[in-house]
Amino acid sequence: AKFVYSFGEGQADGDSTMRELLGGKGMNLADMTSIGLPVPPGFTMTTEVCKAFYANDRDYPDEVREQVANALQLLEKRMGKGFGDAANPLLVSVRSGAPASMPGMMDTVLNLGLNDQTIQGVIKQSNDPRFAYDSYRRFIQMYSNVVMGMDGEILEHLLDQKKQQRGVALDTQLSADDLKQLVADFKASCKQTLNQDFPEDPQEQLWGAISAVFGSWMNPRAVTYRKLNGIPAHWGTAVNVQAMVFGNMGDDCATGVAFTRDPSTGENYFYGEYLVNAQGEDVVAGIRTPQPINRAKYQEGDLPAMEEVMPASYQELAKIRDLLERHYKDMQDIEFTIEKGKLYMLQTRTGKRTAHAAIRIAVEMVNEGLISEQEAVLRVSPDQLDQLLHPSLDPQAEKQVIAKGLPASPGAASGQVIFTADEAEELARLKKDVILVRVETSPEDIHGMHAARGILTARGGMTSHAAVVARGMGKCCVSGCGAIKIDYEKQQFTTEAGQVIKRGEYITLDGSAGEVLLGNVPKVEPQVCGDFATLMAWADSFRRLKVRTNADTPYDSKVARDFGAEGIGLCRTEHMFFEGDRIQTVREMILANDLAGRKRALDKILPMQKSDFLGIFREMKGLPVTIRLLDPPLHEFLPQNDDDVSELAQAVGIRFSEVKSHVEKLHEFNPMLGHRGCRLAITYPEVYDMQVQAIMEAACELVRDEQFDIVPEIMIPLVAHVNELRILRENAVKMADAVCERYGVKVKYLIGTMIELPRACLTADAIAEEAEFFSFGTNDLTQTTYGLSRDDAGNFLPDYVERGVLKKDPFVALDQRGVGELVKLGFERGRSTRPDLKVGICGEHGGEPSSVIFCHKIGLDYVSCSPYRVPVARLAAAHAAI
């Protein structure tokens, strides 16, 4: 088998279809080589080698060793250098590269092949001992840490000491002799700490590094990252061995990171940072302040741009930028190095971006003729849209800006200041909003970043770890806020003005402006406009599935309409029972001892419900509205503790003991499966009668007085047996027809049911005889199919997901194999009886992309979700249809 793929001199064994085998980095190095870009030659060891490595107890088949030897020979020939040749040494980097991008999660070693002999060759050839020893000390630092497992702090500390000794601030200010001394000190420190000599043999170095990179696939932070991002462990990583080029050979050298468009806003300008006389991760590690690539966004006080400092290299890079975008038809994230004025490309990949940027880039690329409207719609993930549907700072709000940093990831967030990732995670579990504040973040902080509402760092640029990870997560982030001084010990930070913010105090971040504000600043609702609206219009033109909303108030209905809802799929009437002091009347109804008493109370509730429906119908003008009749068990409306019971007794003028006994009578051991839904109306038909009357009176009045076109859809919940529905339907029809007759107008209405019990799915053919529509209530259907109480599952479901028993929480993403199967079956059986049966789902799943796609596939008419998820569902429905 072929385990090793070479690239160089315009030729590559691999190509752009081999992501799985070569990893993203290896694939694109091959691809860039083939299209003629200046890529240092090298070779890629495939993910198959990674699998063999783990299968072989962390060793390699002979075949792999042979192929690497051959590839190395070819590389030596291409470079005209010898690996380990003291006079003319080849140096290489050993780089990880998995099929899915895992930025910063795994390890890389640079300048490999240096030892006390080859260093002489490097000095002679470069005529630059400072550069040679700088490379050597970097190699020892990386290798000892990544391969030998030495704590990186130890050598970092020696380096700092040396700088102090010399009275300099920057690495670049150390002399050749200083660095040479450091190399010796580093080696001695390795020997002392690890009781092991630093390896001199280049072959030993090479295989050590290769094994360390394959080994890093299983390091804890990589494992965590994969879990968070759903990347399977069995994919494995590839390893790239590549000839070194040097950005640290002097002032005509540099290294940089760039995005072909702004990853935060999506604006079409060349965005990036670089450092003169630097290597590898210097730019992102925040060792010196990086300089901008071009002058487009130049601000007073910025360091000179590459455009001015290295105009020829800049021009070449700008050309490559265009070429890459035309080649990949997407925004790219690139790494490059300039050695003595010559530009080299070291990496390209699809750039991570905010939702905002994703939309702008997709729409602009359609306008530029790069991609089609369909592709544009597919470019934006529905999950990501969520970011845009969160509030931003209210422009009217009073704001006190206490510090300014970089606008690293947009949106606004408020929370309590917390200084460690662990604590952030703990508090988030207790449903607290936290802002994670760090000097800078590292991969060890990922779990805390995930748990936080927003992230604030004192150090690091727009491409720093914090910025990149936050954008990927869609979290608001302000980075590089040098104006604050963080004191981890005292658990506080101090602003430039001397204001002290302690752990637990509230701050607000504006990630779009890069501002830190005091307190919990009010926020405003998001809007769908501009490019967002354009993209959503395209999405709508491709989708078949309709999207409705779950709304109980005119306000929610309006929000949902503005987000593009095409009707209400679920209006829960019980919410109206709690409004203001209505609850008092509802309690009177429940406490009444006879029908007459109940009716008296219901008569008082009727006009209130009617006015609610008038409001909602007006707001949803012309669109379908599904109204669910009363669903929860009655005891939910009664007070439970004695104080409240006695208060109620006084208010309605009944004896305490009598109220108390009512409350006790209504107590149920398992209310979820108790006297609720249609079961209530079998016992107390007058409740549903009142509700149907309110719905129909509202509809009749609008039709009569306001020339409305409305078809109310009356939904009866929790039906298990067709007979329940038969009886309640008859009652409803009688009432509805009576109202129409009284008003003298004809209003068309539908009567249907919520399908939320397995028995209802199984007998859907019978139920459809009595129902004109079905709405799958997948929350209850999940509870009853799994036999899993939603209110109790929170205690143990996380363990299930953690241990891989379940991939996802079935209350979040529809369990397609189980619950989904029942939905499909119920849908098919229902349609077999009534071919024009309207069918949709409501519940949390209606706004979750994978569930929406499932609903499209099985052929439902619509999904219904909360107002803020409507755009997410519209886009997911389009993805399903394209």
Residue ranges for the known binding site for substrate are: 572, 628, 756, 777-780
Query: Does 93 participate in binding ligand ADP (rule CB under 6 A)?
Result: yes
Residue 242 or 294: which CB sits closer to ligand ADP? 242
Beta bridge partners of 107: none
Instruction: Tell me how far, at minimum, the Cβ of 154 lies from ligand ADP, in Å.
Output: 22
Catalytic pick among 50, 481, 571, 842: 842
Given ligand ADP, Mg ion, none, residue 280, with its beta carbon under 5 to 8 Å by kind, binds ligand ADP
Query: Residue written as tokens 């494992």?
Result: 223
Given Mg ion, ligand ADP, none, residue 93, with its beta carbon under 5 to 8 Å by kind, binds ligand ADP
Beta bridge partners of 755: 776
What is the torsion angle, in degrees rounded to the nearest 10, for the CA atoms of residue 48, residue 49, residue 54 and residue 58?
A: 180
Instruction: Tell me how far, at minimum, the Cβ of 754 lies from ligand ADP, in Å.
Output: 50
Residue 46 or 347: which CB sits closer to Mg ion? 347
Identify which range of 104-112, 286-294, 378-386, 629-637 contacts ligand ADP by CB under 6 A.
104-112
342-350 and 11-12 beta bridge pairing: unpaired
H or E stretch covering 255: strand 254-259
Q: How many Cβ atoms sit within 10 Å of the Cβ of residue 323?
A: 14
Select the residue interacting with Mg ion from 93, 111, 277, 347 (CB under 5 A).
347
Instruction: Tell me how far, at minimum, the Cβ of 796 lies from ligand ADP, in Å.
Output: 37
User: Which residues, 6+ apart, have CB-to-CB distance to 585 below 8 Å?
Assistant: 601, 604, 605, 608
First-last CA distance in the chain: 38
Q: What is the 3-state secondary structure (H, E, C) of 547-566?
A: EEEECCCHHHHHHHHHCCCC
Query: x/- string (CB under 6 A) for ligand ADP, residues 347-386?
Result: x---------------------------------------
Would you give the DSSP letter of residue 869? G
Given ligand ADP, Mg ion, none, residue 245, with its beta carbon under 5 to 8 Å by kind, binds ligand ADP
Residue 113 or 624: which CB sits closer to ligand ADP? 113
Query: Does 95 participate in binding ligand ADP (rule CB under 6 A)?
Result: yes
Q: Which two tokens stand for residue 629?
A: 């009749």
Instruction: Tell me how far, at minimum, the Cβ of 163 lies from Mg ion, in Å.
Output: 23
Select the residue interacting with ligand ADP from 22, 32, 206, 245 (CB under 6 A).
245
Query: x/- string (CB under 5 A) for Mg ion, residues 407-426?
Result: --------------------
- How many H helices and E strands in the chain? 36, 32
User: Which residues, 6+ apart, have CB-to-CB distance to 669 below 8 Å?
Assistant: none
Identify which range of 103-111, 426-434, 559-567, 569-577 contacts ligand ADP by CB under 6 A.
103-111
Query: x/- string (CB under 6 A) for ligand ADP, residues 323-352?
Result: ------------x-x--------xx-----
What would the DSSP string read from start to end of 704-718? HHH-----EEEEE--
Identify which range of 102-110, 466-474, 641-649, 768-776 contacts ligand ADP by CB under 6 A.
102-110
* Type of residue found at 178: D
Identify which range of 186-194, 242-250, 548-556, 822-830 contacts ligand ADP by CB under 6 A.
242-250
Instruction: Tell me how far, at minimum, the Cβ of 320 lies from ligand ADP, in Å.
Output: 15
How far apart are the C-alpha atoms of 182 and 188, rounded to whole Å? 10
Give me the sign of the Cα torsion angle 862, 381, 471, 44: positive
Select the residue interacting with ligand ADP from 35, 63, 85, 104 (CB under 6 A).
104
Query: Does 75 participate in binding ligand ADP (rule CB under 6 A)?
Result: no
Given Mg ion, ligand ADP, none, residue 472, with its beta carbon under 5 to 8 Å by kind, binds none
Catalytic pick among 50, 356, 465, 477: 465
Phi and psi at residue 162, to the nearest 5°: -60, -40
Residue 104 or 818: which CB sits closer to Mg ion? 104
Residue 108 or 557: which CB sits closer to ligand ADP? 108
Residue 21 or 740: which CB sits closer to ligand ADP? 21
Given ligand ADP, Mg ion, none, residue 95, with its beta carbon under 5 to 8 Å by kind, binds ligand ADP
Instruction: Tell me how far, at minimum, the Cβ of 347 lies from Mg ion, in Å.
Output: 5
How far apart are the C-alpha atoms of 853 and 844, rounded to whole Å? 14
H or E stretch covering 291: strand 291-292
Q: Which two tokens stand for residue 214?
A: 């394959």
Identify which range of 55-63, 239-247, 566-574, 774-782 contacts ligand ADP by CB under 6 A.
239-247
Please indicate whether residue 678 is annotated as part of the active site.
no
Sheet containing 271-276: order of strands? 291-292, 271-276, 254-259, 332-339, 342-350
User: Which residues, 6+ apart, have CB-to-CB distance to 468 below 8 Å?
Assistant: 103, 104, 352
Sheet containing 485-487: order of strands? 485-487, 492-494, 500-502
Given Mg ion, ligand ADP, none, residue 242, with its beta carbon under 5 to 8 Å by kind, binds ligand ADP
Instruction: Tell me how far, at minimum, the Cβ of 282 lies from Mg ion, in Å.
Output: 11
Site for ligand ADP in 22-61 (CB under 6 A): 40
Given ligand ADP, Mg ion, none, residue 110, with its beta carbon under 5 to 8 Å by kind, binds ligand ADP
How far apart are the C-alpha atoms of 176 and 248, rounded to whole Å? 13
Please indicate whether residue 477 is annotated as part of the active site.
no
Query: x/- string (CB under 5 A) for Mg ion, residues 101-140?
Result: ---x------------------------------------
Residue 145's alpha-carbon distances to 339, 434, 641, 761, in angstroms, are 26, 33, 62, 59
Site for ligand ADP in 856-875 (CB under 6 A): none
How far apart are the C-alpha atoms of 367 and 468, rounded to whole Å? 27
Note whether 110 and 134 are within 8 A (CB): no
Select the residue interacting with ligand ADP from 6, 44, 108, 785 (CB under 6 A).
108
How far apart are the C-alpha atoms of 689 and 599, rounded to whole Å? 10
Query: Does 280 participate in binding ligand ADP (rule CB under 6 A)?
Result: yes
Note whether 686 and 599 are within 8 A (CB): yes
Instruction: Tell me how far, at minimum, the Cβ of 291 lies from ligand ADP, in Å.
Output: 16
What is the torsion angle, in degrees rounded to the nearest 10, for the CA atoms of residue 179, residue 185, residue 191 and residue 192?
A: -150
Query: Residue ranges for the binding site?
Result: 572, 628, 756, 777-780
Query: Does 332 participate in binding Mg ion (rule CB under 5 A)?
Result: no
Q: With contacts defined by CB under 5 A, how many residues of the chain interact with Mg ion? A: 3
Q: How many Cβ atoms sit within 10 Å of the Cβ of residue 871?
A: 27
How far apart are the C-alpha atoms of 864 and 233, rounded to whole Å? 35
Given ligand ADP, Mg ion, none, residue 636, with its beta carbon under 5 to 8 Å by kind, binds none
Query: Residue written as tokens 């072909």?
Result: 260
Residue 85 or 281: which CB sits closer to ligand ADP? 281
Phi and psi at residue 681, to the nearest 5°: -75, -20
Query: x/- string (CB under 6 A) for ligand ADP, residues 110-139?
Result: x-----------------------------
Residue 334 or 814: which CB sits closer to Mg ion? 334
Identify which range of 60-68, 99-107, 133-141, 432-440 contacts Mg ion by CB under 5 A.
99-107
Select the residue interacting with ligand ADP from 242, 354, 387, 783 (CB under 6 A).
242
Given Mg ion, ligand ADP, none, residue 384, with its beta carbon under 5 to 8 Å by kind, binds none
Give me the sign of the Cα torsion angle 834, 837, 843, 847: positive
SS3 492: strand
User: Which residues, 6+ apart, have CB-to-CB distance to 162 below 8 Å?
Assistant: 174, 178, 181, 182, 185
How far apart are the C-alpha atoms of 173 and 169, rounded to whole Å? 7
Interface residues toward ligand ADP, by CB under 6 A: 40, 93, 95, 104, 108, 110, 242-245, 255, 280-281, 335, 337, 346-347
| Residues at the contact surface with Mg ion, assessed by CB under 5 A | 104, 335, 347
Active site residues per annotation: 465, 842
